[in-house]
Structure 1
Amino acid sequence: MAVDAISCGRFWKYVITAIVTIGSVFIAEESAAAADAQMAPNTKIFDELRFGASGSIQTGHDHEAGVFPEVEVLFNPFGYNPTDGWKDQLLRPRIHLGTSIGTSDSAATQVFTGLSWTLTHSNGIFTEVGFGGTVHTGNLDDWTERGPMLGCRLLFHEYAGVGYNFDKHWSLMAQVAHSSHANLCDGPNAGMTRAGLLVGYKF
């Protein structure tokens, strides 16, 4: 009788433990699903399209003539939400991919990509910085050519901008962008510095 009682007690102990374990797993899965469902509306792969133009703000031999048409796409795989607090906005950068097209012999065409951090303020103004890399078609080290001597085909690319959101779709941003190799490869490092305006459409 005592042995049967002990065995019965252990049996029910195992049953209760199994029920609690299964219930815990079920609750955890439901919580994760709810979190994913809550996050899903803010997670958009194709988030924003920008287009505009810029011009060189360098002087002398390093100046690039002409206007640079620009097109940029921002992707949002990390769930950036402009209505979140500033800490959450900084923790969820977007990915940018774009091009700046040279329209003269001394101007380089760039294709760039990297991460963008955007802080949206309550009055509609936003500030943004980006960092990544670029590949370009410019002059590397030939002093007889026009335009800046850039040393390397692959460069760092960073920018800073300030803009205004007219509504939930349209915005305008002024930015300054710079590309150089930070003296990490052989050759000259004049760099490219351009300033311009971009119109954005957020999907």
Structure 2
Amino acid sequence: MRLAGLALGIAIAQLAAGAAIAADVARRPAAPQPMPVPVALQPSFISEVRFGAFAHDPWSPEAGSANLHAEVLFAKPFTPADLFTSYFVPRPHIGASLNLGDATSFAFAGLTWTVDVTERVFVEASFGGAIHNGETGRVIPADRSALGCSPLFRESASIGFRLSQNWNVMATVEHLSNAGICNQNRGLTNIGARFGYSF
């Protein structure tokens, strides 16, 4: 009888110890789960699209008409971690400017550099080339500009304001010329406004 009582006492003690351990484990906070590693989204191949209107060279024989403008900017080929250094990496662009009168239209391509002045204000410069349907001959009609040759160099400068995370508006001046490479070099200088949508 004594042995049976002793065995029963040991069994009860073991059950009590097991229950105490189980309760202690239940009270312990769960081990923290590792945070999921954020997945870096691949940048879009297209960085931004733009559209707008320009006064067509108000100081030239072709004055008095307007151009509709469209442009696509592509993502930078790489983006340095340092913000200042990243400003020196341009975005490639292509675009077209369609004259609504009987003046010069052109298509263009090149590189664009954008620099933030504040969180909303930015400035921009671009450089590239353009092909056009303007006058390149020796005899030029009185209402047309003597562009000398095609293609031409194209430069532009803009100041812009970000309306939201995606939308911006900018004032732009662009100039096309052959830099004196051809016999005639009247060039074109257009001024206008554009809206941009960033992806």
State the TM-score, normalized to the length of structure 2: 0.74
What secondary structure sits across from 2:87 in the alignment? helix
Q: What is the rounded CA distance, in whole Å, between the counterparts of 1:101 and 1:47 in structure 2?
A: 23
Q: Does 1:151 align with 2:143?
A: no
Select the structure that is richer in helix.
1
> What fraction of aligned residue pairs are identical, expressed as a percent?
32
> Can you give the 5+ residue segments of structure 1 that lack an aligned partner in the other structure?
1-36
Q: What is the rounded CA distance, in whole Å, between the counterparts of 2:150 and 2:142 in structure 1?
A: 16
2:90 to 93, 97, 109: 93
Are 1:176 and 1:193, in contact at CA under 8 Å, matched by a contact in 2?
yes
Q: What is the rounded CA distance, in whole Å, between the counterparts of 2:131 and 2:142 in structure 1?
A: 19
Are 2:60 and 2:145, in contact at CA under 8 Å, matched by a contact in 1?
no
Q: What is the rounded CA distance, in whole Å, between the counterparts of 1:148 and 1:182 in structure 2?
A: 15
Partner of 1:168: 165
Partner of 2:104: 108
Moved over 3 A (4+): none
In structure 2, give the amino acid aligned to 1:48.
E
Are 1:80 and 1:93, in contact at CA under 8 Å, matched by a contact in 2?
no
Where does 1:28-177 land on structure 2 (aligned, <5 Å)?
Answer: 41=42, 43-61=43-61, 63-80=62-79, 85-90=83-88, 92-105=89-102, 107-141=103-137, 142-177=139-174
Are 1:44 and 1:77, in contact at CA under 8 Å, matched by a contact in 2?
no
Q: What is the rounded CA distance, in whole Å, between the counterparts of 2:60 and 2:181 in structure 1?
A: 24
CA shift for structure 1 position 80: 4.8
Q: What is the rounded CA distance, in whole Å, between the counterparts of 2:165 and 2:82 in structure 1?
A: 15
Q: 1:47 to 1:60 in 2, by over 3 A?
A: closer
CA shift for structure 1 position 146: 1.9
Q: What is the rounded CA distance, in whole Å, between the counterparts of 2:194 and 2:92 in structure 1?
A: 17
1:35-93 per-residue CA deviation (whole Å, 9 max, x = no partner) reads xx86x64x4321101000001244253x3331100000000142458x96232222x21
Q: What is the rounded CA distance, in whole Å, between the counterparts of 1:120 and 1:89 in structure 2?
A: 9
Are 1:139 and 1:145, in contact at CA under 8 Å, matched by a contact in 2?
no
> Can you give the 5+ residue segments of structure 2 that lack an aligned partner in the other structure?
1-38
Q: How many residues align?
A: 160
CA shift for structure 1 position 184: 1.3
State the TM-score, normalized to the length of structure 1: 0.72
Q: What is the rounded CA distance, in whole Å, between the counterparts of 2:70 and 2:114 in structure 1?
A: 18
**Larger Rg over CA atoms:** 2
Q: What is the rounded CA distance, in whole Å, between the counterparts of 1:66 and 1:128 in structure 2?
A: 25
In structure 1, give the amino acid aligned to 2:163.
F
Are 1:54 and 1:70, in contact at CA under 8 Å, matched by a contact in 2?
yes
In structure 2, give the amino acid aligned to 1:163.
G
